Amino acid sequence: MKKTILITGWTGYIGSHAVVAFEQAGYTTVIVDNLSNSSEQVLSKIGKILGYIPDFHKADICDTKALDEVFSKHGFDGVIHFAGLKAVGESCEKPFLYYGNNILGSINLFEAMVRYKVRRIVFSSSATVYSSDNTLPLTESSKLGTTNPYGTSKLVIENVLQDLSLHASLQALPLRYFNPIGAHPSGHIGEKPNGVPNNLLPYILDVALWKREKVRVFWDDYPTIDGTGVRDYIDVNDLVDAHIAAYRKLEEISGDTNGSFTPVNIGTGRGTSVLEMIRMTEEATGKKVAFEKVGRRSWDLAEVYAWVDFAKEFLGWESEKTVKEGIESGWKFISGV
């Protein structure tokens, strides 16, 4: 019998890929989204890949009544939780929006889980939960601490899940992922936010398509390979495979009546600079990408990349795709080639 999983934030970049991956892995997904930064058109694109459209509910996790209606209609085996606002810069400008939406919405979801006796959850966390004064690579035991409200919302949600694992028997697996890039190999779904992109690669690709004039590179005197910021870019297809591996790990411990809380880093273990991303995009697309150097942002760090041995040991998962492959699939999606 196929197991039914609730996926929140499904029309978002990572959530849409997760719906496809979980359906293809043999699960039935029920999907919930308020469409605040996406479009219902994603549903038809998922239908093109799968040949059918999963069960969709337009609902906001901040709406307790709407959540209750979804849970009352389905017997969920577990939850994959993506729903939430995710722009670091915006969170600094509108902190209370992030606290209210991300934290309170998640608490509503967890309360519904406990009420309907749904114990398993894979949570979309982030490397932003780590303190800025750690040595690299970042490990799951690195010091925690945040520099922006987005990261704070993720860390608070992790703390709530840890409490609920102890006092409500939730089995929680937060995935602390780094910088997702790329698109589905079909070219039907990928990262295409409403308005100005907040993530680096979509912005670079917009410049390659002449939709934007130039990439703003935030300073050039970091102690890195070329003076620009370095991040760990993980292909979205590898990332959703990690979610499946995480959920299967929760299924392995299904007979345990105790709760659990096990954060796992999801990255490649390698860093790529902003200028390297621009040059690789030029190679992958054959387009010139103009850029200008501007001042630093208050929340930026010079270099961030993951220690990934625990993911391999605990989940049996490791990244396979290269950064260039992620750029190429992202270009295929955004350009329609």
| Residues designated catalytic | 150
DSSP 303: B
DSSP 314: I
Closest to 31 (Cα-Cα) out of 49, 13, 50, 9? 9
DSSP 315: I
Q: Which tokens in the block code for residue 201?
A: 């690669």
Q: Which tokens in the block code for residue 236?
A: 């979205």
Give the helix/strand (H/E) hosting 169: none
Cβ count within 10 A of residue 49: 19
Sequence-ordered list of residues with C-beta below 8 angstroms from that of 117, at least 6 positions apart, any chain: none
Rounded Cα distance, 152 and 157, in Å: 9
166, 172 in Cβ contact below 8 A? no
SS3 annotation, 75-144: CCCEEEECCCCCCHHHHHHCHHHHHHHHHHHHHHHHHHHHHCCCCEEEEEEEHHHECCCCCCCECCCCCE
Rounded Cα distance, 130 and 126, in Å: 9
Give the helix/strand (H/E) hosting 71: helix 64-73
